[in-house]
Chains A and B, each alone.
Chain A
Amino acid sequence: MFPLTSVTEEFVKTLAPNPAAFSNAKKISQKGGFVTLCRSEDNTLLFGDCAGSGKNPYHASVDFSGEAPLGRCSCPSRQFPCKHCLALLVEYTAGKTFTVADIPEDVAAKRAKIEAKAQKAAENAASPKKSTPNKSAATKKLKKQREGLELAQKLTADILSRGICAVTPESCAQYEQVAKQLGDYYLPKPQALMYEIIRTAQELAKNPDDAMTHRVVSLVVKMSATVRKCMAYIDQKLESGEVLPENDPLYEAMGGVWKLEQLKELGLVQENALLMQLAFYIADDPVRKQETDVAFWLEMHTGEIHHTENIRPYKAKKYIKQEDSRNELQAVSALYLYPGGLNRRVRWEAAEPIPPTSDGYATASTFRAESIAAAVKAAKAELKNTLSQDYAAVLLPYDSILFDAEGKGYLRNGAEQIGLCACPDMGDNLSVLRVAAGTAQSGTAFGLLIWDSMDGVFRFAPLSLLTADSLIRL
C-alpha cells in the first residue's frame, strides 16, 4: 500500500504527465472545482466529484491500495492521470477536509479485478513456466544485423576513400538512402550515427571549418569502430551458438533494447539503492528526432554515478511522460543496471521519495574524487574506448572557481587547475556558475569531464555545486 503521508505537492508534480496538467489541476483546486471531497476509512482511496464543462460532474478518484497511486476519472481525457485526479491530490496536499465515505461500487469492482489478476500472477510465479528464449529468431536477427553492418562498412569506407572534404550534398543524399536501409537491419543506433555523420557533413559542405572536419572524421572513425566491433561480436556469438544477449554494451551499441527481466537474469540488479539526483537536463536531438530527459544520480551507498535516459521521440512526445528534476532522494528497492563501465545507465520501476537532508549532502560530498588528476585518470580509462560516451560524469573537489578577463572559467583544487566548458545540452551554465560561485566558493562540483579531441585536453562542464546543505543546479 502506498502511504498517503508521502503525497506532497512535489510528489503530485512528479505524477503529472506534463507541467500544464499540474498547473491546470492547481487552477481547478484554486477555484473550488470539487463539489465533494471524500476518503475511504482506511485512507486507501481519495475520491470526489469535480465540476467540468459537461452537465454532470466527473467522478475522480486516486487509489493508494497498490504500490503506486492509481488515478481513475470519468472525464474523456487521454492523459493519465488526468488533471481532475491531480487536482484531487492537490486538494489533499492543501489540507482540505475529506469526509469519510464508502468506497464507490465501480472502484470496488475495479479493485477486485486487480486483486484477482495479482492472485493469478502470484500463482504463476509460484509455479513458473520456464520461458524458452527463441534462439532461432535471435540467430536470424544477428545474421540480419551482420548484413546491415556490412552495408554500413561499405558506406564508411566510401566516405573515407573519397575524403571528408569531398562529400557533397549530392553524395549526402545517396548516403541518406543507405542510412535509411539500415533501419531494416535492426540497427537503430548505427543508423542514428550515420544520420549524424550525414548532417555534420552537410554543415561542413556549407561552411568548411577545421573543427567541423575534425568532428566528421571522429564520427566516421566511431562508426567504423562500431561496425568492426559489432561484426566481431556477432561472429563470435554465431560461432559459439550463444546467440542471446549477454552483459556486453555492444548489444546496446547496435540498438538492442534491454528489458528489465533480461537485466535481472544477467544479475544486473542492485537491491535497496538510495539515489540523489545531481543534475537533470533535456537533450534535444534533431537528427534522431527525439528529446531525451537525462539525469545523473549518485548512489549513496556505493558512490557510483549513474544516469537515466527517458527518450521521447518527437512523434510520441504527447504520450510519453516528461521527466522533471527531483530534489528528493529516491529509495529504490531494485535498481537495474545496464552493461557498461563508468556512469552506467540505470532504470527502476518504483521509488519512494525521501526529503533531502544536510547529512545527505555531506555524505554525497564524501564520494568526490580525491583530486582532479584522479578523476581524469578514471575518465581516461573510459574515454579511450572509441565506443564510449563523450564524457565522464564526476564529482570534483575544488577550493576556488576562477574567471579570466575574457570570461573563461577554471576550477582550482590546490595546485591543480582545469579549464571549464559549457555543457552542450545546457544553457549558459558558466554564467550561472560565476554567480553561484560567490556563494559556494569551495566544495564539490558535479559535472562532465570532456576530452577536447582537437586540443587534446580535458575540460570540465559543471552541472551543479554541492554545498553543506543544498545542491545548486547550474
Chain B
Amino acid sequence: MEIKKTPFSALRERLYAAAAAGTSVMQEDFRLQRAVEAFQPMVEKAKPYEKLYKMCLELTTAKEPAEQLAQCIALADALAVAQSGFQDDSPAEPVPAAPLQNLKTLSYLEAAEWVKTIRVGQSVEDSRLEELYPAAADPRLLSAFLEISGRDSINAEEVAMPFMERYGTALIPLLKQRLDLTNPKSKGRQIYYIFRLAGTAENPYYISVAENDEAPSAARVEAINALGAEPSNAERLLMLYQTGRGKVKEAALTALCRNNSALADKPLEKQLAGGYKEANIEFAALCSRPAAYEFMRKHLDYALNNAVAHNDKLHPTIATAAAMLANKTDVDVEFLQCAEWYKNHKTDRPYLDSVLNGVLIQNIAEHPGDAAYESLICSLYDREPDVFFKSRLCLALRKQPETAFSAFERECIKHPLYVLDLLNYPEHHADGSWVFRSAQHFSSSRIKLFDKLPENLFPMLESLARTAGNDYDQLCKVMKNFHDLLEGEAQKKAAASCRRVVELLLMTHPSMDVFRLLLAVAPGEDHTASLTLFLVNSLRKTGHVPEVWTLLWSLRRRMSSAQVQKATEDALREIAADAHISQKQTVDSIEKINKVLKNAIEGYFDD
C-alpha cells in the first residue's frame, strides 16, 4: 500500500528522527526546521495543525526541549490517528468456499496443550495420536502443524495426517506460504504434503520449485518426486537429470523410472551398469523397462542358484532381489521360482513370503485398477495358494469387501497371521474409508481396503480366536485398533465382540495383550475379578506371571491401587491352594506378585 508523504507526515517523521537523535542537537537539525517551514501553509486548514505548528516553533526555545518534543510527537500522533484510513485496495482473491464439517472448539488451555505437544516434535504417544484426530477439528491447532510441516521426521508426518484428513486441499496455500525457498536448510517437506493432498493438480507448482536452481536441493528433490506422478513430465525430468547434480539428478532418474517412461531407458541403463548397489536395486524396482528387468533377472537368478544369505558387495540376497519384482507384470515365472524356493527353504528364509506378498500388494496400491497386476495375483494364487493368500485376500477385500472373508473362510482360518498382518494397523479416514499400513509390506505405504467395514469382520476375528495358533496377541491388538477407531453403535458391537474374545482367551491364552483389550473395551468397569483370573491363569498356562512393570503401567490409569491389591491377594490365595502349580513356581510367583502389591501400596499408582 502506497503512503503519500504530506507536509504533515514529513513533519511527524522529522519529529521522530529528532527524538532518535536527541534534543541536544536539535538546534542543528535543519531538516526538522525545513519540515516545520513546509508545514506552515497547513495551519489554516485546522486548528490542531496551528497548535502543532506553534509548538514546533517553540522546540528550540523551550525551557524543557525534551518535554516540548514529547508533546509535539504526542499531538502529531493524535492527529495522525485522526486522519488515518484503513482502505487497502491491494489485489487479492477471496478464499473459496470450502465448508468444514464438525468444526470443534477446544478450550483455550486444551488447545494450548496440544499446540505445545505438536511443537515439541518428539514422538507423540500412540494414544495421544489417536486423540489428535478429533482434536484437529479445532482449527487453532493448525498453526502448530504448519510450524512443524517443514520437519523431515516420521513424527511430523504422523501429526500431519489428522490435519490433512480434516482440512484437505484448504491447507495447500498455507503449506506453500510456509515453504521458505530462501533457506538453504529447508527440507521442503511441505511439497510432500501438497502432493499428498493435491496429487498432479499442483504440477505447475512442482515445476516451479524443481526448476529453480536457487531453491534448496531438498525442496527440489521433493518437487521432482512429485513430478514423477505425471507422465507428461518425462522430458522435463530428463532435462533435470541431464543438468542436475547429486540428489537432484538421482531424484530425476527416480521420477523418470516411476513414470516407466521410455526416456528413462538410456540413463537407467547407464546407472544399472554400475552393478549391484542399494540405489540400483531401488531403481530396478521402480519400473518395467528392459534394463530394469534384465538387472532383476540377473541378480535373482544368481541369488536363487547360489542361495545368497547376506548382501555382499556384488550380490543381493534372494529377498532383496525379489523386491525388484515390483512394478512389473510379466514376472509370474520369477515369482513362482521364489515361491518354490521359499517352500523348500522356509527355515532359512522365514520372511520371503512377506516380501513377495508385499511387492504384489504394493503393486495394486500404486497401480489401482490395473488389471494386469490383479491378474498376476490371481494366477499366482491359483498356482501357490499357501504362499500368495495374503495378496489374494487383499485383492478380494478391495474388490468385494462384503464377501471376501466368507469366500476365503477356510484359508483365513488356515493362515490367520496373513489376515492379521493385513489388518494390523487400520486408519479410519474422514471420508469413511479404511486404510491400512503394514510394516510387513515391502514398503511401509498405506493401502485402502474398503469404504465400509465388512459386516462379517468381527465374527471372522472371533473365529480366529478359537483357532489362531500362536497369534492371539496380534489378534487382540487388531481388535483393539478397530474398536478404538469406531464410534457409537458400531463401537458397542465391536466391544461386545472383543469381550467375548477376552472371556475365551483369559481362560485359554491369558496374556498382557488380552488383558489390555479388556481394559480398552470396558473402561471404568471394575476389573478386579478379571485381574485375579488373569494372574492365576497366566501362572497355570505359562508357568510365570506376566511382566510386572508392564502390567503395572497398563493398570495405573485404569484401576486403583486398592483394586490391584485385592486382585493380587485373591490371586495369591488361589495360587497357594492350586495343586497344579509346582512349589518352586509358586515361590517365584508369590515373590513377583508381592512386588506388584508392594509397589501398588507404595504409591506407584497416582491416586
- Which A residues are within 8 Å of any B CB, using their own CB? 13, 19, 24, 27-33, 35, 50-53, 94, 153, 156-166, 213-214, 217-218, 220-221, 224-225, 228, 280-282, 322, 324-325, 327, 372-373, 376, 380, 383-386, 400-404, 407-410, 412, 416-419, 427-429, 431-432, 434-439, 441, 449, 451, 453, 455-460, 470-474
Contacts and interface: CB of A to CB of B under 8 A. Distances in A.
B107 A456 contact: no
Interface in B1-32: 1, 3, 9, 16, 19-25
B90 A435 contact: no
Given A224-B67, A451-B84, A31 B559 contact: yes
A30 B523 contact: yes
B456 interface: no
B112 A214 contact: no
Contact of B561 (A29, A51, A434, A439): A51
A160 B23 contact: yes
14 contacts: A30-B558, A158-B66, A164-B20, A225-B70, A225-B74, A386-B74, A400-B94, A403-B92, A419-B88, A427-B140, A431-B142, A434-B170, A439-B100, A472-B103
B77 interface: yes
Contact of A401 (B23, B95, B113): B95
Contacts of B74: 221, 224-225, 386
Nearest to A293: B108
Interface string B55-89: 00000000011110111011001111110111111
Contacts of B96: 438
A426 to B, nearest CB: 9
Given A32-B559, A280-B108, A282-B108, A404 B3 contact: no
Residue among B22, B23, B84, B113 having the largest count of chain A Cβ atoms under 10 Å: B84
A157 B67 contact: yes
A52 B140 contact: no
A160 B92 contact: no
Given A427-B115, A427-B140, A435-B174, A456 B84 contact: yes
Residue among B70, B98, B105, B138 having the largest count of chain A Cβ atoms under 10 Å: B70
Nearest to B15: A217
A214 B12 CA distance: 11
B193 to A, nearest CB: 14
Nearest to B178: A431
B22 A401 contact: no
B213 interface: no
Given A386-B78, A434-B95, A456-B3, A163 B24 contact: yes
B560 A51 contact: yes
B592 to A, nearest CB: 22
Given A33-B560, A53-B603, A161-B65, A435 B92 contact: no
Q: Shortest 3 CB-CB distances between A and B: which pairs?
A: A163-B22, A438-B98, A224-B70
A455 B108 CA distance: 33
B109 A439 contact: no
A79 to B, nearest CB: 15
Contact of A165 (B20, B64, B556): B20
Contacts of B78: 384-386
B171 interface: yes
B244 interface: no
Contacts of B84: 380, 451, 456-458
B105 A473 contact: yes
A160 B273 CA distance: 76
Nearest to B140: A432
B526 interface: yes
Given A31-B558, A472-B139, A418 B86 contact: yes
B91 interface: yes
Contacts of B559: 31-32
A404 B95 CA distance: 10
Given A19-B109, A163-B25, A459 B97 contact: no
A473 B3 CA distance: 33
A103 to B, nearest CB: 25
Contacts of B488: none
Contact of A435 (B81, B171, B560): B171
A435 B142 contact: yes
A324 B109 contact: yes
Given A51-B560, A163-B21, A324 B139 contact: no
B174 A434 contact: yes
Contacts of B143: 427-429, 431-432
Contacts of A456: 3, 9, 80, 84
B305 to A, nearest CB: 58
Given A31-B559, A437-B95, A282 B66 contact: no
B366 interface: no
A342 to B, nearest CB: 13
B85 A457 contact: yes
A253 B142 CA distance: 38
Given A419-B90, A432-B140, A455-B1, A156 B173 contact: no
Contacts of B274: none
A27 B146 contact: no
B3 A455 contact: yes
A419 B603 CA distance: 57
Contacts of B557: 27, 30-31
Contacts of A373: 86
B20 A325 contact: no
Contact of B70 (A220, A380, A404, A451): A220
Given A435-B171, A438-B99, A28 B607 contact: yes
A281 to B, nearest CB: 7
A431 B143 CA distance: 7
A432 B146 CA distance: 10
B607 A435 contact: no
B97 A438 contact: yes
Nearest to A84: B607
Interface string B101-119: 0010101111011010000
Contact of A419 (B1, B20, B67, B115): B1
Nearest to B68: A160
Residue among A158, A372, A403 having the largest count of chain B Cβ atoms under 10 Å: A403
Contacts of A419: 1, 86, 88, 90
A4 B282 CA distance: 67
A199 to B, nearest CB: 17
B93 A457 contact: no
Contacts of B21: 163, 165
A472 B86 contact: no
B471 to A, nearest CB: 30
Nearest to B563: A32
A218 B523 CA distance: 59
A217 B20 contact: yes
Nearest to B96: A438
B140 A163 contact: no
B42 interface: no
B144 interface: yes
Interface string B167-199: 100110110010000000000000000000000
B1 A457 contact: yes
B350 interface: no
B19 A164 contact: yes
B463 to A, nearest CB: 32
A32 B524 contact: yes
Contact of A428 (B16, B66, B100, B147): B147
A162 B19 contact: no
Contacts of B105: 325, 327, 470-473
Given A386-B78, A459-B86, A473 B95 contact: no
A457 to B, nearest CB: 6
Contacts of A33: 560, 607
A218 to B, nearest CB: 7
Contacts of B138: 473
Nearest to A10: B107
B93 to A, nearest CB: 6
A408 B146 contact: no
Given A51-B562, A165-B22, A407-B173, 16 more contacts: A27-B557, A31-B559, A32-B526, A158-B66, A160-B66, A164-B19, A221-B70, A372-B86, A383-B81, A417-B89, A419-B90, A437-B95, A438-B98, A457-B85, A458-B86, A473-B108
